[in-house]
């Protein structure tokens, strides 16, 4: 149920004017980049400790 509600809210933002579109998409992209960055850092630290 929650997933469907989130998708609906995103669609509503698309129907809105540009100001409504920018915020949610930017937040999503920032979260996604943070996830990728943290996973890269984690794998790098893991490999570094294995080499020792």
Give per-residue pLDDT as tens, 1-52.
455 555 555 555 555 555 555 566 677 888 899 999 999 999 999 999 999 8
Q: What is the pLDDT of residue 45?
A: 93
13 neighbors 24 (Cβ within 8 angstroms): yes
Kindly report the pTM of this predicted structure.
Answer: 0.44
Q: What is the CB-side half-sphere exposure of residue 51 using CA atoms within 13 A?
A: 6
Three-class SS state of 42 = helix
pLDDT value of residue 25: 66
Task: Give, as one character, the DSSP assignment of residue 16.
Answer: S
The two structure tokens encoding residue 30 = 């920032």
Position 1 scores a pLDDT of 47
Does residue 24 contact residue 10 with C-beta atoms inside 8 Å? yes
């Amino acid at each position: 149920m929650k997933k469907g509600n989130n998708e609906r809210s995103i669609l509503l933002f698309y129907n809105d004017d540009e100001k409504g579109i920018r915020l949610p998409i930017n937040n999503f992209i920032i979260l996604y980049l943070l996830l990728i960055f943290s996973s890269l850092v984690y794998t790098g630290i893991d490999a570094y400790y294995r080499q020792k």
